[in-house]
Amino acid sequence: MSVTETRADDAALRRAARLDIEDFNAAYCAVLDDGNLEDWPEFFTEDAFYNVTSRENFDHDRPVGLVYCENKAMLQDRALAIAKTSMFGPRYLRHYITNTQVTGIEADGTICALANYILVETLAELPEGRLHQAGRLIDRFRRQEDGRVLLSSRIAVYDTLLVHNALVLPI
């Protein structure tokens, strides 16, 4: 196989992976925006890592996260805590994930990807809505036996340094 053919295969694989990820993210956002929060952990592998952190922390290798989950069980606990125990004002949140790039496919099939995101928050007392976060997603996806992809790691790094009051739902 020539070098040119390998590159063409590689580009085709990445394009296919990107389309899978875009489908995945559309479904992921739909669950967070309008669905049942307790379905959200189902987008992750059992051993998934999930973190939401500021660019300030990420750029200085500070490991802390606004949300810090080391496995799917912790994601389930977060979904339970927010859905069943937390008090917060009514709001609409809408997630947009764009500019998806597949940056690599590893030997075991893990897909490394980057994307931008914005989160728009609309409160009853703020009906015009506002930008709640803008940032980027640093993702790793693992392909399952049935062909689906699941997140084995998602790190949401936000540029919007100051969080308005509270971040209720995950990114």
Partner 1 sequence: MKMLPIDKRYVWPAAGLERVPDWAYTSQEIYDREVERIFHGPTWNYVGLDAEVPDAGDFVRSYVGPTPVVMVRDEEGEINVFENRCSHRAAEFCRELRGNTDEFVCPYHQWSYDLKGNLSGVPFRRGVNGEGGMGPDFRPENHGVKKLHVTRHNGAVFASFSDAVEPLEDYLGEEMLSDFEAVFSGRKLRVLGHYRHTLSGNWKLYPENLKDPYHATLLHTFLVTFGLLVAGNKSAMIVDPKGRHSTMASAKSDGTAVSEENKAEMRAYRDGLALADPRLMDFIPEFDSPWSVTMQVVWPGLIVQREMNTLGVRQIVPNGPNEFTMVWTMFGYEDDDEEMTRHRLRQGNLMGPAGFLGLEDNEAIKFVQDGMLNSTGGEHLVVLDPKVPAGTSNTLISEAAIRAMYKHWRQEMGL
User: Where along the sequence are the contacts to partner 1 (CB under 8 A)?
Assistant: 52-54, 56-57, 60, 62-71, 73-74, 76-78, 80-82, 84-89, 125, 161-168
Backbone angles phi, psi at 89, to 5 degrees: -70, 155
Among 149, 154, 146, 96, which residue's Cα sits nearest to residue 121?
Answer: 96
For residues 4 and 1, what is the distance between their CA atoms, to the nearest angstrom? 8
Shortest Cβ 93–partner 1 spacing (Å)? 12
Structure-token pair, residue 142: 């693992």
For residues 168 and 165, what is the distance between their CA atoms, to the nearest angstrom? 9
Residue 31 vs 112, nearer CB to partner 1:
31
For residues 19 and 26, what is the distance between their CA atoms, to the nearest angstrom? 11
Residue 8 vs 166, nearer CB to partner 1:
166
Residue 7 vs residues 106, 114, 140, 167: alpha-carbon distances, Å: 15, 20, 22, 42
Shortest Cβ 121–partner 1 spacing (Å)? 12
Residue 81 vs 114, nearer CB to partner 1:
81
For residues 40 and 116, what is the distance between their CA atoms, to the nearest angstrom? 19
Residue 72 vs 100, nearer CB to partner 1:
72
Identify whether the C-beta of residue 136 lies closer than 8 Å to the C-beta of residue 161. Answer: no
Residue 82 vs 112, nearer CB to partner 1:
82
